[in-house]
Amino acid sequence: MEIKGRKVAVVGMGGVFPTCANLEEFSEKLFSNKSLIREWDKALEQDKKIRSKVSGFVTEKEMNIEPVYSTLLENYPEVFIDLLNRIPDSNLSTADIGSIWAMLASLDAVKMAGWSNNETQSEGTGVVVGSGGAGHEILRHAWHNFFELDKKSRSVGSHTVDRAMVYRDAANVSCLIKNRGVCESIGSACATGLGNIGYAYRLIKFGLQDRVVAGGVEGTSLETFVGFDAMQVLSRGFSPEESSRPFDKDRNGFVCSFGAGIVCLEEYEMAKARGANILAVIDNYHNNSDGDGDMFYPSFNGQQRLWKGLLGETGTKPDVVKAHGTSTPAGDAIELLSIVDCLGSKDYHISAPKSQFGHMLGAAGAVEFITAILMLQKQKVLPCLNANHLNLEQENFQKTDKWQGPTSPLADFRDILPQQSFEKEINYITCLNYGFGGTNSAILISKDNS
């Protein structure tokens, strides 16, 4: 159970972002209404085998990481070198590229938090970091060499398991910072990033931890891209910067992207007592399942219950809703209508960060949580880029007898979907993320007004 009066503060954040060297550049580009999406050379190399060619991707070179390839196996990255010496070699030996993103982001977040080694390396500090997929590049080349090229198992070395296991990101971060509390990884598809932060919030709120390093990561992987391209859910037919277009009438799929977002959470009074810079306060977290048995299609009822669980009878109305906003035809429409059903259509705005950097899958909720904190800090709303033309007609599902939500077309909500960043007083932000399997997550954050 929650401990009465125990609050949770956000005291640090860091990440790995497409086309950006650091958090400062990421923030500058976002609030300048820039897109971080570009054509991906690896997708272009596949020619007609892949429909979509754009991504918000991050390369090893851009992050000053260099792969060292095996002399025994074809195309197998045996280890990575950190050219800036941020991560010790011993930690790099157990990491795939996603785990490296997570470790780099964690180092930045812990530095911003100002935690001492005694605080970080204590039983009161946990790690909760998850990913949407496995260590695909490690596995692909290891299994290709074993099954197709008939190499012996020992030729892949002794680290295939720890570099590809489900909880590799949390494990590598934990070994890097040497915490002695919880070390866990929660996977909930595209809600993973926010789900891990929400779970970390509960660990502190319930008195089980005092501090937690939390977030999500998605290491750059063509395998992930191919899987979604096969489902025909990726955007195509637009220029890179116009490909991600949440809520736009012509949206035809999301942009598959990669990166990492890590935040440091701390019990509020402890943070205040040591003079920490409190970036935001987490007021509540709620998650649920649709319960309709559908793996993919969004549920208006599930999202209604999510909002009720988050806000309850508090009467709190966010100034900004950070939407999931993937650019999928049904997903965007149902999400917008569920927001309007709960909050009405005035006195708040909707931000869709995926319009600027695409869908980072397991990292999405965490990176977008960071964008929400940036909005609080700057008192500016990030845009819904490319939401140029909203549907003037009802969606098909709105015309059915089963539909019980708002009946207005999406175009009626033009005023709450800004296409450019702008200044506004912001005290509360709600972050929304959803995932395959009908999983829904929502978190409410606010400014520290003490």
Catalytic residues: 190, 324, 359
Q: Report whether 171 contacts 219 (CB < 8 A).
A: no
Provide the token pair at 449. 């007004």
Sequence-distant (6+) residues with CB within 8 A of 208 are: 126, 182
Identity of the amino acid at 334: I
DSSP letter for 106, please.
Answer: H
Cα 144–216–123 angle (5° rounding)?
Answer: 110
Angle at the Cα of 287 from the Cα atoms of 407 and 316, rounded to 5 degrees: 65
Tokens 């280890």, residue located: 79
E strands of 17-152, at which residues?
38-39, 54-55, 65-69, 77-82, 125-131
For the chain, what is the largest distance between any 2 Cα atoms, rounded to a whole number of angstroms?
A: 64
Residues 6+ apart with CB under 8 A from 37: 18, 54, 55, 56, 240, 241, 243, 244, 255, 257, 356, 357, 358
Q: How many CB atoms lie within 10 A of CB 288?
A: 18
Judged on CB neighbours under 10 Å (0-12, 13-18, 19+), 233 is buried
> Which residues lie closer than 8 Å to 230 by C-beta, 6 or more apart?
none
Q: What type of residue is 52?
A: S
Contacts of 75 (CB under 8 A, 6+ apart): 69, 141, 144
Cα distances from 389 to residues 245, 251, 406, 434, in angstroms, run: 10, 10, 19, 24
**60, amino acid identity:** E
Distance CA 359, CA 133 (A): 14
